[in-house]
């Protein structure tokens, strides 16, 4: 069973991640929010230190994956394992307490790394391991509906030829690899969608532009065109077979891994906003009493308690989803629940904190207004709020995507 306290073996990790957030991320947070698209050079040394740590250190956005081939089976004695998925979520929460954009900008820690770790073969892990991988899913006409992907992959001898357009690729310009989702046969539908590893310097992969964004400005967001982009057959992640009955469960399994990570990002930003708001309230003489009913306290204190309760609920859902992945339990429902709750909570709480703090919340002397901008994307990417609720409804009602749209 899952325990609610931080496992003892992960406490040093949490302490280290908090130290990084406090001493490295926070001091340069505003600098790279204003200097959009400028690479944070301060992260190079940090990335080198993290790469030198043991596997599954949890100090980045790329998790160890949920592949059953990794050897991370539940302990036979206790039937309970606290592994790399949980440690990564705990580390992400702390780092995003510092700055979520800087976490996403950290070399070697892209969401594409989670995709590779989830479904790659041993040979692929050996070939591509240690490289920074971004993930390219979204297209101009295929956002939340990943099954509508139009990018194609055609086998030509020993290579696949990719053609299409990808937008909103997080860390796409700086990453060494791009994990591209494409269809082997568009007439078959979602069952033909596969993911391919494309080297960033591939001549068939062209950078169109970098986006200017509301938040997470320290992280680059790229748009690409793939024109006769050739990759070796070995670059396909998972099986090349098109199984109509199985659908595209293989590539979708990636989301079971990455959605709790994004939920963790939202939790880090949420906690940062709550702690700063509590500090501002106490400085203004507003006392928050946990032994007194909220209705008997000031409106500001009651609102704060409500937001804090939402944060705690999102935290529990996220830890559950990560724990289930570590213990090889199907967690698609729980991953979507965690992402939906944490994403919405992040937006609601950060905006609520800005509202409570008034002019302080809107000013650039504090980071509250920045956190409210950063939080919005965490409710959108890796599946929007609305898509998560649709996935949850399908699973709870035992409906297919065709039956419940």
Position 244 in a domain: no
For 301-327, how does the pLDDT look when each residue is reduced to its tens digit (9 = 90+)?
999 999 999 999 999 999 999 999 999
Position 402 in a domain: no
**Same domain flag for 221 and 258:** no
Position 74 in a domain: yes
Q: Which backbone phi and psi does 232 adopt, to 5 degrees? A: -65, 155
Burial readout 306-339 (b: 16 or more C-beta within 10 A, e: otherwise): ebbebbeebbebbbbbbbbbbbbeebbbbbbbbb
What are the structure tokens assigned to 39, written together? 């690479």
Which is the catalytic residue, given 94, 276, 334, 382?
Answer: 382
Residue 269 banded pLDDT, cuts 50, 70, 90: very high
When pLDDT is averaged across residues 90-111 and rounded to a whole number, the result is 93
For 330-349, how does the pLDDT look when each residue is reduced to its tens digit (9 = 90+)?
999 999 999 999 999 999 99
Please give the pLDDT value at position 62.
55
Position 49 in a domain: yes
**Same domain flag for 265 and 391:** yes
Exposed / middle / buried, residue 244 (Cβ in 10 Å: 0-12, 13-18, 19+): exposed
Position 121 in a domain: yes
CATH code of the domain containing 351: 1.20.140.10
**Same domain flag for 103 and 151:** no
**Domain boundary residue among 128, 145, 179?**
128
Position 216 in a domain: yes
Residue 61 banded pLDDT, cuts 50, 70, 90: low
HSE-up (13 A, CA, CB side) for residue 71: 4
What are the structure tokens assigned to 361, written together? 């919340």
**Same domain flag for 349 and 255:** yes
**Same domain flag for 51 and 148:** no
Residue 54 reports pLDDT greater than 50: no
CATH code of the domain containing 220: 2.40.110.10
For 198-236, how does the pLDDT look when each residue is reduced to its tens digit (9 = 90+)?
999 999 999 999 999 999 999 999 999 999 999 999 999
**Same domain flag for 112 and 147:** no
Residue 14 reports pLDDT greater than 80: yes
**Domain boundary residue among 202, 237, 272?**
237
The pTM of the full predicted model, rounded to 2 decimals, is 0.91
**Domain boundary residue among 90, 106, 128?**
128
When pLDDT is averaged across residues 230-252 and rounded to a whole number, the result is 79
Position 243 in a domain: no
Structural domain for 304, as ranges: 249-397
Q: Which residue has the higher pLDDT, 96 or 113?
A: 96
**Same domain flag for 119 and 32:** yes
Please give the pLDDT value at position 113.
86
Residue 238 banded pLDDT, cuts 50, 70, 90: confident
Q: State the Cα angle at 338 between 334 and 344, rounded to 5°.
A: 145
For 158-208, how does the pLDDT look when each residue is reduced to its tens digit (9 = 90+)?
999 999 999 999 999 999 999 999 999 998 888 899 999 999 999 999 999
When pLDDT is averaged across residues 374-379 and rounded to a whole number, the result is 98
Residue 84 banded pLDDT, cuts 50, 70, 90: confident
Position 347 in a domain: yes
**Same domain flag for 124 and 138:** no
CA distances from 220 to 171, 175, 313 (A): 5, 10, 31
Please give the pLDDT value at position 71.
43
**Same domain flag for 286 and 343:** yes
Residue 72 banded pLDDT, cuts 50, 70, 90: very low
**Same domain flag for 258 and 390:** yes
Return d(Cα 96, Cα 104) in angstroms, integer: 9
**Same domain flag for 367 and 263:** yes
Q: Whose CA is closest to 264, among 333, 215, 335, 198?
A: 335
**Same domain flag for 276 and 387:** yes
Count structural domains, the chain: 3
- Residue 211 designated active-site: no
């Amino acid at each position: 069973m899952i325990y609610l306290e931080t496992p003892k073996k992960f406490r040093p990790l949490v302490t280290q991640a908090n130290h990084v957030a406090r001493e490295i991320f926070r001091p340069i947070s505003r600098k790279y929010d204003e200097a959009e698209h400028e690479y944070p050079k301060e992260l190079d040394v940090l990335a080198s230190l993290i790469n030198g740590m043991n596997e599954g250190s949890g100090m980045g956005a790329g998790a160890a994956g949920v592949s059953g081939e990794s050897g991370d089976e539940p302990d036979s004695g206790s039937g309970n394992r606290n592994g790399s998925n949980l440690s990564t979520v705990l580390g992400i929460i702390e780092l995003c307490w510092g700055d979520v954009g800087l976490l996403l900008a950290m070399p070697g820690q892209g969401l594409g790394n989670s995709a590779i770790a989830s479904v790659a073969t041993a040979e692929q892990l050996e070939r591509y391991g240690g490289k920074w991988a971004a993930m390219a899913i979204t297209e101009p006409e295929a956002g939340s509906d990943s099954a509508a992907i139009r990018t194609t992959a055609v086998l030509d001898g020993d290579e696949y030829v990719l053609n299409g357009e990808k937008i909103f690729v997080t860390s796409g310009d700086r990453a060494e690899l791009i994990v591209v989702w494409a269809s082997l046969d568009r007439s078959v539908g979602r069952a033909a969608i596969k993911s391919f590893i494309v080297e960033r310097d591939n001549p068939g992969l062209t950078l169109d532009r970098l986006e200017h964004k509301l938040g997470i400005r320290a992280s680059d967001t790229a748009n690409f065109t793939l024109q006769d982009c050739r990759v070796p057959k070995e670059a396909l992640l998972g099986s090349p077979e098109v199984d109509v009955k199985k659908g595209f469960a293989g590539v979708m399994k990636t989301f079971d891994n990455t959605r709790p990570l994004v939920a963790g990002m939202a939790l880090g930003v949420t906690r940062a906003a709550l702690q700063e708001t509590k500090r501002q309230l106490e400085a203004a003489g507003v006392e928050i009493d946990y032994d007194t009913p909220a209705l008997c306290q000031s409106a500001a204190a009651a609102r704060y308690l409500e937001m804090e309760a939402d944060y705690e609920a999102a935290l529990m859902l996220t830890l559950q989803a990560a724990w289930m992945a570590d213990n090889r339990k199907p967690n698609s429902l729980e991953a979507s629940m965690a992402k939906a709750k944490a994403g919405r909570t992040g937006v609601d709480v950060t905006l609520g904190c800005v509202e409570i703090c008034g002019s302080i919340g809107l000013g650039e002397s504090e980071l509250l207004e920045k956190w409210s901008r950063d939080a919005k994307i965490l409710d959108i990417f890796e599946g929007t709020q609305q898509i998560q609720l649709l996935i949850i409804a399908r699973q709870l009602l035992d409906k297919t995507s065709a039956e419940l749209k």
